[in-house]
Structure 1
Amino acid sequence: MALAANTHGRVVHTCTLSSKPPTLFSRSTAAVPGHHAHSLRARFEVRAIAERATWLPGLDPPTYLDGTLPGDYGFDPLGLGEQPEDLKWYVQAELVHCRFAMAGVAGILGTDLIRVSGISNLPVWFEAGATKFDFANTTALFFVQLLLMGFVETKRYMDFLHPGSQAKEGTFLGIEASLEGLQPGYPGGPLFNPMGLAKDIENAHEVKLKEIKNGRLAMVAMLGFIVQASVTHAGPIDNLLTHLSDPFNKNIVHALTSS
């Protein structure tokens, strides 16, 4: 029997089976209750660690990123999550940014389609913030948004500090039962989970993974929208139509070189 340390810093047992019969100075694994089962579990654990997908093939992930978090591929080149409390905060920060990015991408593409198709005379997304509305002035809208977002973010932060505290009776206008905050970052309930896709949030690993993957893709898309707007001064649908009209001459390479 040999001892081997895995990538998580734990010591696991490995066992080599021999065809030689047991002697006075050798011990059969069958003589130790549960030894064979333990050896098999250890081998499966080592194999699972060896086959774990990482953001860079062959990378040895940090010990604090053990693969239990949704979308954990061992990516932390700056070591920001070394402290457990910092890691919890960064997980929540990424989750919120993913959701904002997904909402932003959907909003930009939806309004751009309406604008380009001529259904409504909407401003392009990077000029929408300067639009003046008849029902309220810009200053009033800014302070209303500041108050609403401040309230929501404060509630989220309090739930992060004290999980489940914001779903207690009397904490939110009497509709706490509709939120059912079972885990930080996942309020759930009829308001945030109307289809009941993740009622058992503790075991909703596949749904969490899909959300974080789509959120990361949305953040990359938002970065692309920003770069496109800065270079071409046009919306994403306009950029797509321009590219499709002449793919070989109207693409990102020509746009960057001409700018």
Structure 2
Amino acid sequence: MAVAVGSITLFQPFSASPASFASSKHISRHTFVTTFSPATQRSISRPYLTIVRAQRPTWLPGLDPPPHLDGTLAGDFGFDPLGLGEDPESLKWYVQAELVHARFAMAGVAGILFTDLLRVTRISNLPVWYEAGAVKFSFASTQTLFIVQLILMGFAETKRFMDFTNPGSQAQEGSFFGLEAALEGLEPGYPGGPLLNPLGIAKDIKNAHDWKLKEIKNGRLAMVAMLGMIIQAYVTHVGPIDNLMEHLSDPWHRTVIQTLSGAGS
């Protein structure tokens, strides 16, 4: 009795030469058992190879990704339960929106943790992060700071939108006061040049899939962390370092569950 192991059976005759094995790109790593009766086994005069189609990772194992998510995008695990990206133009915009939000979240989480650590250790007299916006600075009024931020952010976002609608246009000569080389974009969403890419990482952005994947994974984690910090501040009214120190002081009784249920207060 013959036994074949795999997940999907596609029987194809093959020769025993190394070239035949080299041409078989998708070999099953899953397990199933198919048995052949002696009569059936005698009718097979040549060796057979079990070949399967390898499935890419998805956010839910075993789930078939939607057709518009074919795995070419960085961090594409087939997650689009509402079908928001079915329109190709909308999908391009959502990709850029997620990338920008991910970068803001990474900067925000790093800034919150760093300033909160300085505050808790009394190295600097800083406000808790969710009250920083209400602080009155001596060097400028709140209205002045708001206007300056509006101009700077508006300029940066306008340049980003123009590069999205017309890729490469913002690297053309005369588009940024003669400083285009310092801000030369590699592709929409990935600015380069010595100012925004001083280490020269992933200069060949078309083939930098690993770098893109690492960035979007860290960005998604940061967005979840930022949401957690917002909820944490609303419930406990303290910063994340304070929450961490409280948890470490009594790990078995100062937990998220007990804090949310009120048992830890």
User: TM-score interval w.r.t. the shorter chain?
Assistant: 0.7 to 0.9
Is it true that 1:180 corresponds to 2:177 in the alignment?
Answer: no
Instruction: Please state which structure has a larger fraction of its residues in helix.
Output: 1
CA distance in 2 between counterparts of 1:201 and 1:158 reads: 20
CA distance in 2 between counterparts of 1:17 and 1:170 reads: 63
Q: Which moved more, 1:249-258 or 1:117-126?
A: 249-258
Asked if the contact 2:186/2:203 (under 8 Å) is kept, the reply is no
**1:104 to partner: Cα distance:** 0.1
Is it true that 1:112 corresponds to 2:116 in the alignment?
Answer: yes
CA distance in 2 between counterparts of 1:153 and 1:117 reads: 36
Match of 2:12 in 1: 16
CA distance in 2 between counterparts of 1:152 and 1:83 reads: 27
**1:47 to partner: Cα distance:** 4.8
CA distance in 1 between counterparts of 2:98 and 2:254 reads: 34
Amino acid at match of 2:205: I
Q: Which string of whole-angstrom CA distances, capped at 9 and with x for unpartnered residues, describes residues 129-168 of structure 1?
A: 0000001111111111111111110100000000000011
Show structure 2 runs of 5+ residues with no match.
1-9, 28-50
Match of 1:25 in 2: none
Aligned length: 228
CA distance in 2 between counterparts of 1:106 and 1:173 reads: 32
The residue matched to 1:16 in structure 2 has which SS? Answer: strand
CA distance in 1 between counterparts of 2:120 and 2:236 reads: 16
Asked if the contact 2:185/2:191 (under 8 Å) is kept, the reply is yes
Counterpart selection for 2:137 from 124, 130, 133:
133
Asked if the contact 1:67/1:73 (under 8 Å) is kept, the reply is yes
CA distance in 2 between counterparts of 1:130 and 1:48 reads: 57
Show structure 1 runs of 5+ residues with no match.
1-13, 20-35
CA distance in 1 between counterparts of 2:209 and 2:181 reads: 24
Counterparts in 2 of 1:201-212, with a 5 A limit? Answer: 201-212=205-216
Match of 2:146 in 1: 142
Amino acid at match of 2:91: L
Asked if the contact 2:167/2:188 (under 8 Å) is kept, the reply is yes
Asked if the contact 1:163/1:182 (under 8 Å) is kept, the reply is no
Instruction: Please state which structure has a larger fraction of its residues in strand.
Output: 2
Match of 1:90 in 2: 94
Amino acid at match of 1:17: P
Match of 1:155 in 2: 159
**1:18 to partner: Cα distance:** 7.4
Is it true that 1:80 corresponds to 2:76 in the alignment?
Answer: no
The residue matched to 2:13 in structure 1 has which SS? Answer: coil
**1:182 to partner: Cα distance:** 2.2
**1:16 to partner: Cα distance:** 2.3
Asked if the contact 1:54/1:61 (under 8 Å) is kept, the reply is yes
CA distance in 1 between counterparts of 2:250 and 2:101 reads: 35
Is it true that 1:248 corresponds to 2:252 in the alignment?
Answer: yes
Q: Share of identical aligned residues, percent?
A: 70
Match of 2:204 in 1: 200
The residue matched to 1:170 in structure 2 has which SS? Answer: coil
Is it true that 1:168 corresponds to 2:172 in the alignment?
Answer: yes
**1:15 to partner: Cα distance:** 6.9
**1:48 to partner: Cα distance:** 5.6
Amino acid at match of 2:209: H
Asked if the contact 1:81/1:87 (under 8 Å) is kept, the reply is yes
